[in-house]
Amino acid sequence: MNQYLSDHVHLSDDGTAVIILDQTQLPCRTEYRTLRTAREMFDAIQQLQVRGAPAIGICAAYDLYVLAQQISAHTTQEFLSLLRQQATFLASSRPTAINLSAALNRMLDTAATQTCIRDMLSALYRECIAIHEEDIAMCRAISEYGLTLIKDGDGILTHCNAGPLATSRYGTALGPLFLGKERGLNFHVFSDETRPLLQGARLTCYELHRAGIDVTLICDNMASLVMKNGWIQVCFVGCDRVAANGDTANKIGTSGIAILAKHYGIPFYVLGPTSTIDLSCKTGDDIPIEQRDANEIKQKFYAEPMAPPEINCYNPAFDVTDHSLISGIVTEYGICRAPYTESLRTAMQQKHAALSGKGRNSL
């Protein structure tokens, strides 16, 4: 039996398909999808059936391994060319999360190290499993570091969803809460609903409630009031890409939360793995922002349309939080602080040292 059978993204027992928990059906229904074709995989990512930057990376790695088994090629070069085509197609499903392209590039690099197709397939299998296992370890490490930033009884504001559904085990922004709960701590979480796709309402509340963590759902525009009331001691959010200067892209509405937190003197932390750090991206201005279908605003989740059909909509999936608003960026290698141009580079150096077997240091 596959070791990740209980996970929401995993290979089928025979390794010829990817099985995902369809997050668009939560919290009302628990439905799994079996992905065998490139189009099914593309749609699953683009339509948010699988979402969360780390989970997308895990899924993409499994996807490429499954597609590699379907390639009919006579030479290694022909095989690699067709594999690159499949990776390019999958990478186009969502442009903002760096984990997607990073996982696919890692798989391509792995295949290129082998000299025959059979060995390429074996290496691809090992690599997609390694990507998943590394994410599990990453979530645990981030949760440990994040837990040092909160104390028993704290009120914590979250935006979007960065729990196990978005990753593998504990999650990133929600990881410290689950870990703290295991250790007997109690927190009160205020979960932004996160318009327009309601990931906070549908997914964060679902995960926290199931774990027995005290959670209150609020509309996005209520965050200022709960902060003013003194109910929030810290804000924890995830991220989809981190620029070299510490600017971070996360679900639309995150930058507004950071501005409010700054006004009320509340620490604002971004929690995410080093796989989301893109040192080639100098600032947040260089991060591509995904634009999504207008119907997500006008009619999705409504029994009837909530706006006239002819109304134009602006529907960016993400915004960028300026590094000056961020108290710290929590990675699996520690908590990065300003100046981020230095601390993020140090974190990446530690990652490369660890991967090359030279050990792991703390920031």
Instruction: Cite the active site residues.
Output: 240
Distances 277 to 96, 163, 271, 332 between C-alpha atoms, Å: 12, 19, 11, 12
C-beta separation of 323 from 246 below 8 A = yes
Rounded CA gap, 78 and 129, in Å?
25
Alpha helices in the chain (DSSP H): 38-46, 53-70, 76-91, 98-112, 117-147, 175-182, 199, 205-210, 223-228, 254-264, 295-298, 340-355
Spatial CA neighbour of 208 closest among 234, 232, 243, 173:
173
Backbone phi, then psi, for 61, in 5-degree steps? -65, -45
Spell out the residues 6+ positions from residue 220 whose beta carbon is closer than 8 angstroms to its own. 159, 192, 193, 194, 195, 253, 256
- In DSSP terms, 301 is beta-bridged to none
* Amino acid sitting at position 313: C
Report the relative pairing of strands 318-321 and 248-251 from DSSP bridges.
Answer: antiparallel
C-beta separation of 217 from 193 below 8 A = yes
Rounded CA gap, 31 and 56, in Å?
18
Report the relative pairing of strands 32-35 and 155-158 from DSSP bridges.
Answer: unpaired
- Backbone conformation region of residue 265, classed left if phi is above 0, alpha if psi is from -120 to 50, else beta: left
Report the relative pairing of strands 268-271 and 328-331 from DSSP bridges.
Answer: parallel
* Amino acid sitting at position 44: A
Neighbours of 22 (CB within 10 A): 17
Secondary structure (3-state) at 290: coil
